[in-house]
Amino acid sequence: MSTGIWAVSLEVLCTRLPCSVKDEATVRSTNCEDARTGAMKVLRYRGWLLGGRDATLCPKHAGPMPCCVRCDDPTPRLYLDTVPWTGPELADLAKPTLLCPGCRRWARELWLTRLHTEREAAQ
């Protein structure tokens, strides 16, 4: 059984009048939902605000994109996440600690390593 390749192309138009900015993103995947989600992610990382109160805003009207508190990379708010872990390595980060996906993986690995070390020391 062969798997198909889905190509999803999204074209967006800013709903703020009289703005007429357009953009497009195309993503291919073996799953239709993954391709659709990927195309939306591409547009969000370009600065588009999608679906907020039925508005679609271009990067100019969406306002500044928030940044990860560790690496300072602009990241759409949807993909920033707080860190539930604590420890001395994370103490220098601002509170609330909003991290991009890459820095969240870094923080989780630090926490898991510390937890493993503490368990070994307790034995």
Q: What is the DSSP string of 77-104?
A: GGG-EE-----GGGTTS-SS-EE-HHHH
Cβ proximity of 12 and 24 under 8 Å: yes
For the chain, the farthest-separated pair of C-alpha atoms sits apart, in whole angstroms, at 68
Q: How far apart are CA 112 and CA 123, in angstroms?
A: 17
Please name the residues in contact with 37: beta carbons below 8 A apart, sequence gap of 6 or more. none
> How much is the pLDDT for 1?
44
Tokens of 98: 């909003």
Q: How far apart are CA 99 and CA 79, in angstroms?
A: 8
> How much is the pLDDT for 86?
66
Cβ proximity of 12 and 45 under 8 Å: no
> How much is the pLDDT for 26?
95
pLDDT digit of tens for each residue in the chain (123 aa)?
Answer: 446 889 999 999 999 889 989 999 999 999 999 999 999 999 999 999 987 677 899 999 988 989 998 899 999 988 888 877 666 666 666 666 788 999 989 888 888 888 888 888 887
